[in-house]
């Protein structure tokens, strides 16, 4: 679960915001979230609860911490998250992020997954994958291991810090070779992530994707 999703759940506004995004659009949902926070601040104001001042002050501290994080989340980013959540709720199809530096393979994988009904986002290296994750909010990340700028293992390690239960599938043409250092394979094995050696058949990919999303 992302920090933004957790904050919206803590405020008690996530489900309604997603509903509004589906009915009226993501921008309207952002307005709802921002206004809900301001209303809660008034409700929890300690001066209104002199007999329960300590509880009100604690609630206010939690709200202020959430406000700091939400203030750093732009309206466009929040709109993308809520719009994506509304789409996910509406049609039930999971969101899959493909991170692959080989352009042709990346597009082929994306097209195959779209034909299977998945919502698909793409990135060309681990750093781009981290950025894409913030707005796309995938249920599964399919990533190459060896890539320029940031490898897939390091990307997933950082994603785990944001979302401890992140699901990932590693693909590579270098499994079993020296190109993938021992510590990279140890990281993949330690967390039990499935892996698929290139070249592979679409049926093999789909089977692992379905298994990962169970």
Question: Do 107 and 186 fall into the same domain?
Answer: yes
What angle (nearest 5°) sits at the alpha carbon of residue 160, between those of residues 100 and 183?
Answer: 70
Would you call 138 helix, strand, or coil by DSSP?
coil
Instruction: State which of 84, 119, 135 marks the end of a domain.
Output: 84
Residue 60: give the domain boundaries: 3-84
CATH number, domain at 138?
3.40.50.2300
The per-residue pLDDT for 176 is 52
Measured between alpha carbons, how far is 184 from 199 in angstroms, rounded to an integer?
A: 20
Contact 214, 194 (CB under 8 A): no
Question: Do 75 and 117 fall into the same domain?
Answer: no
Question: Do 53 and 17 fall into the same domain?
Answer: yes
In 3D space, the residue among 73, 62, 90, 79 whose CA is nearest the CA of residue 17 turns out to be: 79
How many angstroms separate the Cα of 207 from the Cα of each of 107, 116, 120, 201, 204?
A: 19, 12, 17, 10, 5
Question: Do 208 and 121 fall into the same domain?
Answer: yes
Would you call 122 helix, strand, or coil by DSSP?
strand
- Threshold 0.85, pTM exceeds: no
What angle (nearest 5°) sits at the alpha carbon of residue 137, between those of residues 133 and 140?
Answer: 85
Domain count of the fold of the chain? 2
In 3D space, the residue among 84, 91, 123 whose CA is nearest the CA of residue 107 turns out to be: 123
Question: Do 119 and 49 fall into the same domain?
Answer: no
Question: In residues, how long is the chain?
Answer: 214
The per-residue pLDDT for 181 is 57
Question: Do 204 and 111 fall into the same domain?
Answer: yes
Contact 153, 181 (CB under 8 A): no
Burial bucket for residue 31 (CB in 10 Å: 0-12, 13-18, 19+): middle
Question: Do 12 and 39 fall into the same domain?
Answer: yes
The per-residue pLDDT for 8 is 86
* pLDDT tens, the chain, 214 aa long: 578 888 888 888 887 888 888 778 889 999 999 999 888 888 888 888 888 889 889 888 988 899 889 889 999 999 988 887 776 655 667 889 999 999 999 999 999 998 888 888 999 999 999 988 887 888 899 999 889 999 999 999 999 888 878 899 999 876 655 555 566 667 777 778 888 888 889 999 999 999 888 7
The per-residue pLDDT for 99 is 97
């Amino acid at each position: 679960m992302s920090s933004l999703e957790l904050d919206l759940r803590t405020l008690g506004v996530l489900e309604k915001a997603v509903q509004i995004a589906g009915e009226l659009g993501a921008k309207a949902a952002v307005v709802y979230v921002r206004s809900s926070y301001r209303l809660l601040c008034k409700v929890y104001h300690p001066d209104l609860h002199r007999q329960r001042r300590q509880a009100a002050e604690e609630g206010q501290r939690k709200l202020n911490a959430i406000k700091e994080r939400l203030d750093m989340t732009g309206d466009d980013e929040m709109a993308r998250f809520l719009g994506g959540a509304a789409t996910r709720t509406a049609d039930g199809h999971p969101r899959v992020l493909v991170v692959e530096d080989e352009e042709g393979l990346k597009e082929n994988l994306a097209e195959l997954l779209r034909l299977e009904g998945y919502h698909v986002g793409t990135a060309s290296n681990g750093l781009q994958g981290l950025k894409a994750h913030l707005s796309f909010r995938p249920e599964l990340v399919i990533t190459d291991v060896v890539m320029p700028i940031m490898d897939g293992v390091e990307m997933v390690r950082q994603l785990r810090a944001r979302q401890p239960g992140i699901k990932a599938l590693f693909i590579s043409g270098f499994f079993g070779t020296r190109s993938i250092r021992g510590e990279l394979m140890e990281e993949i094995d330690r967390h039990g992530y499935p892996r698929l050696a290139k070249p592979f058949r679409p049926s093999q990919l789909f089977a692992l994707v379905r298994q990962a999303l169970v």
